[in-house]
Amino acid sequence: MVDANFREELARQREKVEDIYTYEGNKVGRGTYGHVYKAMLKNVPIGSENKAFALKLIEGQGFSMSACREVALLRELNHQNIIKLLRVFLTAEKRVWLLFDYAEHDLWHIIKFHRAAKQKSQRVMVPKGMVKSLLYQILEGINYLHDNWIMHRDLKPANILVMGEGTGIERGRVKIADMGFARVFHNPLKPLSELDPVVVTFWYRAPELLLCSKHYTKGIDIWAIGCIFAELLTSEPIFLCPEEDIKSQTPYHPAQLDKIFSVMGYPIETDWPDMRKMPGFKKLEDDFEKFVRDKKYQNSTLKRHMEKYRQSSGLVDYPLWNETFSLLEKMLTMDPLKRISAAEAKEHKYFKLDPTPTSDVFAGCKIPYPRREFLKDEPEDRNNGSKQQAPTLPVVAVPPTVPAHVHNPPTMEIPPAAKKLRQSMHPINIVGGTLTNNVNQQQQQQVFFNSFF
């Protein structure tokens, strides 16, 4: 039994988040599991720049299993494209705060910016050079995870952060965040499907997951990256399913499968021989028998789907379209055994042709995307533990209005620790220039968008 006086003395000596950082009123994310704040140091030496941090508050008291997994993995990981855990705070009230570097942008907000412009009939697509740099850095980070026997399992635009201005060499660098669903898969204690029957947001969920596969592979991350790639190219989710049911405890989701088949076509046995072995295949046959018989998906192909966007986006003459589509097609392959790996994708011809990927995805240009807006604290957000302390919930930089499609992870035993992790940081060519100061913001944005073509 720990002596009560010792516990009190320990609590007095423990550094408090509110004594070190100011964050009240700076909430930038609110989700199912917590709140994220933009935090600044209270005491900064004269002449030093005050760096921003992201403070993530874990829901409830103490460590949830999801938080334990995230902290355990993040403490072992060390890669320039994976968000770095800087510090963990445990308050006297048993509340847990995680401290990260602050990222001003994420792909959810970036794509939203371009989608809004598109809806106003302004042809402002995500620059193709920027798409290439974003995709390459995502693959770098995921390849590092896969090399170390870790699956992310919840890749989506909101979890792909991009560092903003004032971060030095980190400017424009991708940071893969939110490792709460990540798992070590080289020697799981149980089949992963038993531990987490529902993983990955529906729109980015691989078909083998939707068919209740008990033994899935790192290919589920590649499928999700392929979905993000398509979304960057078109500014629209490729498999947008309006009938999303966030309370579903079964992976089988016929509406989402229908959306995939409407884009890709219904897979035949030669496309995916093991599909018939999936636990959900019999239900799929029953539910889709009429659609297949009526040839609903006969004319559906990924190429035809993407060609529509190519025509409407003015990319008919885009010289790298064939290479772009080739890589996308290899990522969005129905059969997980035929799906390209992250290591193979990095070596694809798409990345070898100009413009080559840059370490700053903005290529030195002025960043046209707005900074994160601060969210208003709800009355219940003001915690009783401390003056500034907010309540439950986290997700590194979750967008304020991100669609509610995040799922509660079931509790489980903490997976075995990953073996010693290798750092795999490959240098990337830095290209692009800076903009002159004598042009207005609109002209600067146009220069930014044009500079990638």
Contact assessment for residue 93 and residue 61, using Cβ atoms and an 8 Å cutoff: yes
State in Å, rounded, how far the first CA of the chain is from the last one.
Answer: 67
What are the angstrom distances between the C-alpha of 441 and each of 69, 116, 118, 283, 365? 43, 18, 19, 54, 12
Token pair 């799929």 in the structure block, residue:
284
154 catalytic? Reply is: yes
Sign of dihedral through CA atoms 273, 274, 277, 282? negative
Contact assessment for residue 400 and residue 28, using Cβ atoms and an 8 Å cutoff: yes
Tokens of 347: 């070596």
Identify which of 124, 102, 127, 103 has the alpha carbon closest to the alpha carbon of residue 115.
Answer: 124
For residue 282, what are the contacts with CB-CB under 8 A and spacing of at least 6? Answer: none
| Other residues' Cβ atoms within 10 Å of the Cβ of residue 297 | 19
**Catalytic pick among 101, 154, 178, 360:** 154
Does residue 56 have a known ligand-binding role? yes
For residue 254, what are the contacts with CB-CB under 8 A and spacing of at least 6? Answer: 284, 287, 288
Please state the residue numbers annotated as binding site: 56
List, by residue number, the catalytic residues: 154
Please state the residue numbers annotated as binding site for ATP: 56
